[in-house]
Structure 1
C-alpha cells in the first residue's frame, strides 16, 4: 500500500461483505477472496433479487427521514471499504445503517458484524457517533436492531484483522466440515468432508509406506 516517509502505511483494504463471510466460515471467505469462487444457490439468488432495489444508488425523502441507498463507505484506519444498502438520516441527526437480508435473522450472527462495520465507516464519513444499526430480515418482514457497542466494535476489528491475514498470506483456511456446510452454496467446490479427513489420510498413507525396522540377524 502507498505511504510517505512520515505516514503509516495504509492497511490492506477489507471488503465489508468479507466480514460476514469470515464470521460465518473462514474458508468461505478465503474461497471468495482468493479464488473468486462464489457460487449461487436458491437462497443466494433470492437475496440478489431482493437486493435489486436497495442496490440502486439514490436517495429519497419521506416525512421526518432522509434515505440514502447503495452508499459507498470506508474507514481509513481500519482499512474497511464497502457499500451500505440503506442509510437513514433522522431529524435529530441520528444516522442508522440498515442492511437487508433475504433470510431470517439470527441474533449475534455474522450479519451483525457487517452492519456494525457499516456503522463504524459511517461515523468517519459523516462525523457522528452511531450506537445502533439495523438488519431488515425479509423472511421475518421486520427490522432487528444491533447494538454497536464496545464489544461489537472489538469484534469488527478482530475479524477485519483475520480477513486481512487471509488476503496477505494467500492461504485458504481449513474447512469447517460441520452443520454450516449444509447451508452453504459453496459446499460442492469446497469439499469440506473430503478435505477435513486429509490429515488422517496422510497419516495412514505414511504408515502404510514406512519401511519396517531391519531385522537383526546377528547371533
Structure 2
C-alpha cells in the first residue's frame, strides 16, 4: 500500500503503456509539447471536466470529473464520467448521499479518436475501475469508452489479464519514478505519433554517437 505522498497520476498509466520514456519525460522531467492529437483530446475533455456536474434522468445519474484513487496501485486521478444505474442488489452497488437507493457504477472514458489495436486505452480505463473498486469495496466487471471519431460507445470487459497489466505498469512506474532515471529509447512507428518526438529525439538517442546519427540521417 502506497502512502499519500507516494501517489502518482493515474492519467500517466496510458503514457507509460504507450512508451515508458514518454511517461518519464512528462512526469519526471516535466516536459510537454502538443500535436494535433493532444489538442483534439484537450478540446474534447474540456467539456467533461465539470466536477459539480450532476444529471439525473430517471434511473440513471451521470457524474463528471470524479476524484478517484487506489493506495494499492499508488495512483490517483479523475474519471471523465461515472454513470450510476438504479439497482436492487447489494452486490457491486454503492449509495449516493444525494440520491436514495442502491446504484451500480459504470466508468465512462472519453477518447477523441477510435479504438486502438493494443490495450493502451483499456489500461487507463481498468486503472480507474480498480480505483473505484478499492474505494467502495466492490467488483466492477466492465467499463465504457465513448470514441468521438466514431460517435458511439464501446463496452470493455475488465479481465484478470488486464488487471495484471495495470498492476505491473503501476509497479514499474513507481520504481522508475523513485530512481528518477529516464528509460532508454525503443524507437518504433509509435514515435511518429508522439507529441514529444522533438524533445525525445528518438532517432538521435538511438544512435551511439553523433557521427552515427549524421551518417544515418544526413549522409544518405
Give distance in 1, aligned partners of 2:150 and 2:2.
43
Q: Which runs of 5+ in 1 are unaligned?
A: 1-7, 205-219
Superimposed CA distance per residue, residues 69-117 of structure 1 (whole angstroms, 9 cap, x where no aligned partner): 0000001222110100000111123211111111111154211000101
> RMSD of aligned C-alpha atoms?
1.8
Superimposed CA distance per residue, residues 178-215 of structure 1 (whole angstroms, 9 cap, x where no aligned partner): 100111111000000000112xx3898xxxxxxxxxxx
SS of residue matched to 1:130: coil
Superimposed CA distance per residue, residues 141-176 of structure 1 (whole angstroms, 9 cap, x where no aligned partner): 111222112111111100001111121010001112
Larger radius of gyration: 1
Match for residue 69 of structure 1? Answer: 64
1:10 Cα deviation (Å)?
2.7
Which stretch of the first structure deviates more once superposed, 124-133 or 186-195? 124-133
Give distance in 2, aligned partners of 1:111 and 1:16.
12
Q: Return the TM-score normalized by structure 1.
A: 0.84
Q: Return the TM-score normalized by structure 2.
A: 0.83
Match for residue 14 of structure 1? Answer: 8
Q: What pairs with 1:157-172 in structure 2 (closer than 5 Å)?
A: 157-172=167-182
Q: Which runs of 5+ in 2 are unaligned?
A: 88-102, 213-220
Match for residue 100 of structure 2? Answer: none
Match for residue 138 of structure 1? Answer: 148
Contact 1:105–1:140 (8 Å) recurs in 2: no
